[in-house]
Amino acid sequence: MAKRHPQPWQRIRTEAGSDLKIFQVRFNWLQNPRNSTLVKATQLEAPDWVNVVALTPEKKVIIVRQYRFGTESVTAEIPAGTVEKGESSQTTAARELKEETGYTSSNWEYLGYTEPNPAFLNNKCHLWLAKDVKKTHPVELDAGEDVFMELMTLEELRQEIDEGRLRHSLALVALSRVFGKIW
């Protein structure tokens, strides 16, 4: 018997849903290629995001802590943000690093991207490594931000992860792509 592989589903129609500012809800009526059943699937349209692993010349990583509305808790993560319309992901990464931490870099490496949740999100999270970062500017937080920045050695960072204090999934993916390069 031949192996069967999933096939793309045909979109029959689309309905616009609520505009939630950071997400646009869309309902897609899709036809299952296996049995022709019509399924109404919810999709959240979102702009792409970036996550930045920022490494100092002394091999310390920048960690930011901030209150997150979704979990109603302070989280440990890496500098990150939303790609603005017309902006490249590298430009966003450099902007977010500077705004959240005051650090800049001229040595960037693209680590690829991840799909935050392909079950219902249509965006990508681009992962960047900023090497040899230096403090060059004051922090420029948005009115809705309250970010605390700290530098961690690789051992401190590993302990932060192992003890469950750094749990942000996109930050963990970015860090996992860097650990093999610097550990």
Catalytically active residues, by annotation: 145
Cα dihedral 89, 91, 93, 95, rounded to 10, equals -150
Identify any residues that bridge with 65 across adjacent strands, giving them in sequence order.
76, 148
Whether 176 contacts 112, CB under 8 Å: no
Distance CA 9, CA 1 (A): 23
In angstroms, the first-to-last Cα distance of the chain is 46
Q: Which of 20, 11, 52, 50 is nearest to 175 (CA)?
A: 52
